[in-house]
Every structure is written in structure tokens, then in C-alpha cells.
Amino acid sequence: MSYQVISNCIGWLLKEKETEEAFNFYYLEPPSKMLAKIFQTYNKTNSRKFPLQFLMLTSSSSFKRLNSLLLGALGDRGQRKSNLSVMAEGNVDDTNTTNDDDDDDDQPFTPWAVSVASGHTLLRSPQHNKGLAFTDKERDSHFLRGLLPPAVLTQELQAKRSLNILRQYQVPLHRYIAMMDLQETNEKLFYKLLIDNVEELLPVVYTPVVGEACQKYGSIFRRPQGLYISLKDKGKILEVLKNWPEKNIQVIVVTDGERILGLGDLGCQGMGIPVGKLSLYTALGGVRPSVCLPVTIDVGTKNETLLNDEFYTGLKQKRATGEEYDELLDEFMSAVKKNYGEKVLIQFEDFANHNAFDLLIKYRTSHLVFNDDIQGTACVVLGGLLSALKLIGGTLSDHTFLFLGAGEAGTGIAELISLEILKKTKLTVEDSRKKIWLVDSKGLVVSSRKDSLQQFKQPWAHDHEPVTGLLEAVKAIKPTILIGTSGVGKQFTKEVIEAMSSINAKPLIMALSNPTSQSECTAEEAYTWSNGHAIFASGSPFDPVIYDGKEFVPGQANNAYIFPGFGLGLIMCGAIRVHDEFLLAAAEALASQVTEEDYAKGIIYPRFKNIRKISATIAAKVASRAYEYGLASHLPRPSDLVKFAESCMYSPKYRNYR
């Protein structure tokens, strides 16, 4: 009886209140009043009243069941430890015949007094732990006295201390591990540190260091940070999704690990990518961490090194393909929609070319999907191109583009450039595409090769004599803009850069492949070989270069400019589908954030220190376009979308506990 009563109260609370507010009943109230608060709240708005005496009539096993119920809805990632201890203080009450274990009225029950021992667990909740920032009052209220050293530090001092510790590590991977440890112990401090020092720490938590982290993920694995779905889970994916403690998921970043950055098939170890991307969703875009879900779909790997590695954490079998692969992905997409609804954003990350295009085409009309490698990269590159026009002159349609790399990134960028040209001119689709040329592993993509080309390359096969190498293609096509998406380092040789410089007064060189080791050329090489005339941007960060007594600051075409703000915009307007116009809006918004001071230094991307302002601007533009196209479900439309975006952003500031 008593179990059912309290269960009803808790169930009502979780149904009527936001999860975070419900959790506040649990942690922010003095522990001894937690259940009383639940009863009082329930009784205020329900006709059927329950006396608070039920608190003393709950048996040990029933209370454990209730605790499991409460934490099942409110629990945090990976946190399933009991937060309540039940202390026996009396003998059997022979006057009561209710036993909550089996609801048999003929069985006696034992009365228990309830004591909440929250301190130890509170310190192990990343979402609520404040470490030495707990005040003396909070330490008394939440049983923390003695569990911490006596000093009380501010969050600012904690962040300063953490940054000093990070800077002592000489190996970048060690910094990455330290940041992940901080994220798993004190979430708000992790995000404060990242937000306040984004230019310094972005390369640590994401590219280029995340590439090495994925390669060594089996060795540095601490505890799971996301959801792993494998072939073993076929037919049970919906159940697997329900095992994740957070129920209100708004963004999922998913990978199958087949093409991690430029490093190839890393299988299950690709989890570092979704985890890193979602950290940036929160730090840069202000999306609450509790609504983010990293997912790795493990269908095996073709990486023999991993298959023979005793520490490999994934399935040790050859990568599944064809029907078996398609059925698992289809079950996953259906389960996500069923469990989280129509408006959950699914971001595909680092899928191999053949799957990336197929998945985007297959699900873009039925789900809210976004492929960062195709669409995100295209947005950030188009944004850089639009801002670079102020330095190189002309309009997009005045320039000729040559890509090294005809995969998902290269063709995605090419398509978005074509759409922007189409939007701003009276050219046909075919004519706008003729300004863009691609070079793949077999040479220039031309019409005579059309029968042997993959479908996504065919729109870019133009009439021209076959050309085998990049240097020959540069000399033949005479491009004004050279873009590298090959995933292979050192392809922009001295001869290639010199050829570009002989054709253009200010050649635009974009070496976009990640990580740094796979970049087509370095910033120093681009500036030196062009005699300081090149405008350069890369996918991975490079330090400023001094050439001929002048400082050149390379731009970084980092997808982190786009996807956090893009995702925030979709969430805040309740978008149900992604339209190509949203991508153009995001690119244009990014270009608008570059200042005259940036241009004076040859920089075509804004400074990352202003990334939250940039993200809010992008979110507002994306949401505005969604409202214009009737694809937004959150009505009415806010009058000031930029301010609304800023108001939606997650704050890493500590909360005060009662």
C-alpha cells in the first residue's frame, strides 16, 4: 500500500515537473524533507490526499524500490548508486498487517525511519558536484562535512587551478585525458574552463588531439561516456535507448567509426568523436549537456590492428555491410524517433562516403538529420569563401574552384557553393556547377570518366581532356581558389602553390583535411611558397607565421563554427526538417561576423573567443529561415531571435544548494 502511494506521488511529480526541477526536490531540499516535499506538492494539486505519516510506514525493500524509481527518471549519466540509506530503528509492529514487498495484507511489516545520506553520492554526480566550492552551509545540509578538505574555493579559482594543472602537461593526449576526467567529475567546471579558454582548449578536446585519442581509445578508456549499440543489440535497440538515464534528448551525434577524421576505420574507438562534438554543442552553442546523447554503432571493423589488439573495446569481427548494416541503421533511426520524437536532431559523423550520402538522402525527408562532414564542412567553407571575397575581390560566380578530394566533404562543399551561386545569379544549375572542378585519386573528374564514377561525383564531371595529377590540373583549369579535402597530407606541394601564385595575385589556399598530420600543407609552407601572397585557411589549427618581417595569421575552417549554433537554431525553433536554405543562412551568418581588424591580418574567419556570440547569430539566422519556410513548430516566433538564442544557452555557473 505505502509503496503504491509514494510511487503515485513520485510518478505525478515526474510527469508534471521538468526533470531538473524534480531533481531539485531530491538534492536542493534538506535531505530529511525530501519525501515530505513530494507529498506536500502532490497534495496541493490533487483531490486525493495522502497523510505524511506514510513516510514512517514504508518498509526497507519498498523504499529501495521507490529510490530506484526516482533515480531511474532523475539519474545522471552512468550514475546508478543508491542515494538513500534506510536505517532500522524499531521492531515489528504487530498492529499493522501490510507488507509492501508482495502487497499481501496478511503479512506484517517493519516500520523504518528514513535517513538520506546524499553527500558521498553528490560528490560523484558530475552534473551537481562542485568540489571545494561547496559552502560550509551546503556541506552541513548535504552530509559533506569531512568528505572534503576544509578550504572553500570559488569556481573562478577552481578554473584557474585546473588550467594551471593542464598547462603542466607537455603531451597533448595527457591534456585530453585530464579534460575528460574533469568532465566526468565536475561538469560545470569543465564547461566553464572550456568556454573561458576556448581558443587554447578547443584543439585539446577536439581536433587535432581527439584523433590521437580515438586511435588509443582502448588504452585510455576510463568509463563509458555514451551509448554503444552493436550488432548484438539487433531487435532490442529501443530497449537500449531506454537504458540511457536522460529521457529528454534533443541532439544525438552518431558514428559507426568507419572514417574517423583522416585516420580510417577505428571501429568502436570512434566514440571520441560524438563525445567531443557534443562537448562543443554545449560549450560553443549553449545546448544543455543533459539533452545530448553520443552514440557509436558498432558493426565491426576492417582494421586488422584493432582486431588483433587485446585491449580493443569493440566487436572483434569484420565490418558488416549491405543488408545487415542497413537493417541495423534503420532500426536505430526508427527507435530514436519512437523514443525521442520528431524533433530530435540526429547528426551523422564520420561515416564512410558510400554510407554518408545514402543515409542523408534516405532519412532527410523523414527525420531531422544533419551530416557534419557533408553539410557542416560545406557551411564553414562557404562562410570562409564569402568573407574572403573582401580580400580577393569579385563574387563567387567570378571565381573558379579546384578541389583535391571528391568525397563527402568535397562534393558537399561544391554543392553548397553551387547553390549560393544559383541563389545570387541567373545561372542554371549546370552552369553554376561548371565553375567547380574536382580531382580524385585518378585525376581530374571529367565527363569521359562518367560511367565509372560514383553517383555523387557525376554532377561534377565536366567536358575536358583527362588530367592525371593535381599540378597538371592547376595548370589546365587555372583556378583562383584551391581547396583540399583529400584526407592525405602534403599534397599541396611547392610546385602546386607556386603555380597558384603565378595565376593569381592573391591565391586562396584552403587545406582542410584533419588532423594536422593529414593537412595538405602547413601555413608556413603556403605563405613561404607564395612569397606571402596567399590567403590561407586550414582544418586544423596552425600558429601565426612570420615571413619577410610580417606576421600572417592563418584562419581555421573549423566545423565548430557552424554545428553548435546550427543545432541550437533547430532546437529553439522546434524544426522538423533541415532545408538547404538553413545551410546557406548559417554560412552567411558566419561570414558576417568577420571584422575589419580580422581582414587587416588576412583572416577570413572570426576569432573563437567570440564563439557564443557567433553561435547565437547563426542560431537566429537558421531559426528565422525555418520560420520563413514553415518548418518551425515552436510558436509564436520570438521577436528578437538573437536575444532568444542567448537566453536559451546553458550556463556553467554553479547553483546554490539549500
User: What residues act catalytically?
Assistant: 206, 277
Cβ neighbours, 10 Å, residue 528: 17
Cβ neighbours, 10 Å, residue 637: 14
Beta bridge partners of 508: 481, 535
- Answer for the pair 357, 394: CB distance below 8 angstroms, yes or no: no
* Residue whose cell numbers read 591534456: 175
Q: 576 is written with which cell numbers?
A: 522538423
Phi-psi region of 548 (alpha: psi -120 to 50; beta: other; left: phi over 0): left
The answer to whether 350 is a known ligand-binding residue is yes
The answer to whether 259 is a known ligand-binding residue is yes
* Residue whose cell numbers read 583562383: 480
Residue 360 parent element (H or E): helix 353-363
Q: Which residues contact 645 (CB under 8 A, 6 or more apart)?
A: 286, 565, 568, 569, 572, 615, 616, 617, 619, 620, 623
Q: What span, in angstroms and rounded, lies between the C-alpha atoms of 379 and 178? A: 32
Cα-to-chain-centroid distance, residue 275: 6
Closest CA to 213 of 166, 270, 292: 270
State whether residue 535 is helix, strand or coil. strand
Q: What span, in angstroms and rounded, lies between the C-alpha atoms of 348 and 408? A: 12
CA separation, residue 317 to residues 150, 320, 332 (Å) = 52, 8, 20
The one-letter amino acid code at 168 reads: Q
Q: What span, in angstroms and rounded, lies between the C-alpha atoms of 225 and 213? A: 14
| Crossing angle of the two packed helices 198-205 and 187-196, in degrees rounded to 10 | 120
Closest CA to 277 of 78, 617, 563: 563
DSSP label at residue 206: S
Closest CA to 126 of 66, 62, 185, 203: 185
Q: What span, in angstroms and rounded, lies between the C-alpha atoms of 436 and 501? A: 19
Residue 168 burial (C-beta neighbours within 10 Å; 0-12, 13-18, 19+): exposed
The answer to whether 558 is a known ligand-binding residue is yes
Does the N-terminal peptide bond of residue 208 adopt cis geometry, omega within 30 degrees of 0?
A: yes
Q: 625 is written with which cell numbers?
A: 529561415
Which ranges of 393-532 would DSSP assign to H, the alpha helix? 408-424, 429-433, 470-477, 494-503, 523-529
State whether residue 541 is helix, strand or coil. coil
Question: Which residues carry a binding-site annotation?
Answer: 259, 349-350, 373, 514, 558
**Binding site membership for (S)-malate: which residues?**
259, 514, 558
Binding-site residues for a divalent metal cation, in ranges, read: 349-350, 373
